[in-house]
Structure 1
């Protein structure tokens, strides 16, 4: 990057020499032949030496001011406030280097030709002033490709501070350099000749006009390309980052270091991505607390109290002896046992497309068929109960009871407008909870009601056998209870 940066400054200096020559050479050609001969004999070598020395000076100076910045940038380290400040001021420092180099070289040339008179010195002064300004401006455009990622790293997370021309100002400047300025110079030649100032009235303007036209063509193309790239490159970065976001990579970030319309566009994109990341994080946390289906339903329907009465199946699972477990083991160990227990519950429920409506201490209420409709909610609930019985029996530290029921339930949000939760309410919920208590003393630790068996498909019904009828705690009517068929 140091070499690339040095070459950019050297190229800016050389291009500014060509631009200054577009003024200096035509005006010098209109001086007397003797004066031109004396000037050429005395200054040809000097001009070449000054151009070479100036080019080497700006190149080496650019490498030197960039070196300390590259130490932390290449290492990928976070810059200190002083290092970030130095990086932000890099563009101004390079402009000073280019302008001062031009001033020193131009001053040396003027000192060597004080005896030549105003007719020869005025073009030199004009060329130095124009060349210095052209060098500083061209340097900023040429070095922008190298400086952009450095500035982005130095200003990451902060508001851009570098003031640069906006898009409109750049286009106007492009028009001025490539169109208005050459035309103005040609018009100046015509005015100077008409009054005999610096150019004799009898002199031909063919060569001056030709030189200015060639300079406009030679310099116009690179200036137009560089100006276009100063706009298209950062816009292209935003477009590429938007494509990454579209593919799901919401950690995309574009560098921002200039205070212009482009800088505001980049800042706006970064803020948008930050908002998307925050939204996804909240969506993920929301989904983990209430379930992905409930979260999706809340996002689709908005913050309103609503619900429906639907056919659903309910599975209730409760641990046995959790109080004794908490008394005999350290809290951290109890938490680990519960996490292992609920990890299995969550995995099985997700596999059978159920919703864990809530965790109640050492118990869980699971719903099938709400809030998302499914074809066979009772079959899914019964299959999930059997799978849970197999997997939970492998945990030596826990015992459990599982109850399954089905029927018409209210499925929706209850509470207040500013604080509510999704839940299911109905007789099937109460029946499943009572069956889970009763199942804690059964052989397979799983019981279901006839309502669930009736609503299941034939294949699932064959996996259950009727056991007995009983009046569950808190109910007035008897419930026909079934248990899974023992594996052969």
Structure 2
């Protein structure tokens, strides 16, 4: 039952007082809270000076005119001219939040100082009241002076701090906009430690001191009986409980909401969401934590952009290898399959068409190659003018580089004929041992492959430009591929490739299935 009551009170507090969706709290709500708190303070003072500390009597015939005329007049003036009018003026300084204009340094300062000013108003009014009534009642009898100084000082301190915490909570949306405009030159709000200390000191510590003073005066003056002393202690204890609980609850809420937001955002980042951005609404170290989180996420986003750009330039596998190990110049021998693609008649293509159309065609041409190579986990080692060098088996190994290279060559030829018939291309495929690694200097290097298979693939690409399907492979790579892929190729004659002394047996793809014939027909007229 008690737990249910606590949870109900917590939900009510959150729904009524906590701003949501960065919507500003209306002035009537804030004015009502400040006024209600001070009216409660007036009630506490009246109980203190009439019930808890009855002597001297405030309704004595010599001072009754003060109690019945001056006190109500001062309370009415304080509420109307003080709490309502001054509070309204302070809130008017925050109207910029609804204006479509950039914030000035003055606007930002007003947002940060608003809780302080709203707390200063009751402090000033309670101080004036303490001095005024101590003088008025003290002019009749000096015994009234400690009574009113004690009562007004106690209520003024406790209520001013409570008003500060309420204002800081309710004006959080305005603080968020101000903090979004930039970091202030100096912090204008207490830190987390100061907030926690103030909530206890003024919410509970001051009432405890008041209880000690009440007991001490009763023992020294001996002008209170046990019942009156008990009433005074009971009243001060209830006040300490109510305002101490409110102050500590708000201070804890101000801290917990910031920590909860950061924790939730960290979970989103951990799940891979790098687009989350925290709203900075706290002027303490927690605000710095929120701002630091945003800076961290921005750094992660920039890192991902660089990683993506790096992967696009050198290939995903090369980028992953560079991240996972120390970069060293040199290389290692690897068995790879090499695929070389080159456009037929690129000079004629460039001179016969507008530049914009040439760029569009080249982008479509390379897009087909990138998609098909990526589908089989190959590496586009480099774009050489209108040609492309593709490697399967380095830096990341694959189960059957020969099969992947041959299947990719057939898929590229099929898609180019169907999707980019304007760009006819020759494709050469070979396999063998190459030297794969980083070549260059420590300041600038690139991952590449060097060896006979690269040269053979380039020479086969030249010969393939005269073939009907535009593809030639070495018989050696076809024979090393998986059985299904071998059925897609026919072995042909042996030729001596330019720059090679040994004879190389050629392999051509078999006639495509019927649904591919139409697509391939567009690419058969090659020169």
TM-score where L is the length of structure 2: 0.82
* 1:200 aligns to 2:227 (yes or no): no
* Residues 1:81 and 2:103 are matched in the alignment: yes
Match of 2:165 in 1: 141
Secondary structure, aligned partner of 1:89? helix
Q: Which residue of 2 aligns with 1:366?
A: 390
Tell me the number of residue pairs that the alignment of Structure 1 and Structure 2 aligns. 479
C-alpha change, 1:306 and 1:239, in structure 2 (3 Å) is farther
User: Using the alignment, how far apart are the partners of 1:318 and 1:144 within structure 2?
Assistant: 68
Q: How does 1:283-362 map to 2 (within 5 A)?
A: 283-305=307-329, 307-362=331-386
The Cα of 1:349 is off from its aligned counterpart by 1.1
Counterpart check, 1:90 vs 2:111: yes
Quick check: 1:95–1:136 contact (8 Å CA) kept in 2?
no
Equivalent pair of 1:318/1:436 in contact (CA under 8 Å): yes
SS of equivalent to 1:205: helix
Q: For 1:115 and 1:55, how far apart are their aligned partners in 2?
A: 23
Match of 1:75 in 2: none
Note closer, same or farther for the CA distance 1:319–1:426 as it changes in structure 2 (3 Å cut).
Answer: same
Q: Does 1:457 align with 2:478?
A: no
| Superimposed CA distance per residue, residues 10-42 of structure 1 (whole angstroms, 9 cap, x where no aligned partner) | 324433453565466424533323645725434
The answer to whether the 8 Å contact 1:87/1:150 transfers is: no
Q: Determine helix, strand or coil for the equivalent of 1:420.
A: strand
* TM-fit CA distance, 1:358: 0.8
Unaligned runs of 5+ in 1: 73-78
CA RMSD of aligned residues (A): 2.9
1:159 lines up with 2:187 in the alignment: no
Change (3 A) 1:34 1:86: closer
- Please, what TM-score do these two structures have when normalized by structure 1? 0.88
Contact (CA 8 Å) 1:9, 1:142: kept in 2 or not? no
Q: String of CA shifts for 1:151-198, please: whole Å, max 9, x gaps.
A: 2233226325543222222222233134322221112223334443xx
Secondary structure at the counterpart of residue 180 of structure 2 = coil
Q: How does 1:83-482 map to 2 (within 5 A)?
A: 85-100=106-121, 103-104=124-125, 107=128, 115-117=136-138, 118-120=142-144, 123-125=147-149, 127-156=151-180, 158-160=182-184, 161-196=186-221, 200=223, 204-305=228-329, 307-394=331-418, 395-482=420-507
Please report how far the alpha carbon of residue 57 of structure 1 lies from its aligned counterpart in structure 2 after TM superposition: 3.7
Q: Runs of 4 or more off by more than 6 Å in structure 1? A: none
Q: 1:179 to 1:106 in 2, by over 3 A?
A: closer
**Are the structure 2 counterparts of residues 179 and 108 from structure 1 closer, same or farther at C-alpha, using a change threshold of 3 Å?**
closer
Which region of structure 1 is more displaced relative to structure 2, 112-121 or 305-314? 112-121
In 2, Cα distance between the equivalents of 1:322 and 1:47?
95
Contact 1:244 1:252 (8 Å CA) reproduced: yes
Match of 1:76 in 2: none
Contact 1:312 1:407 in 2 (8 A): yes
Unaligned 5+ segments in structure 2 are 1-22, 514-527
Measured in 2, the distance between the counterparts of 1:69 and 1:354 equals 55
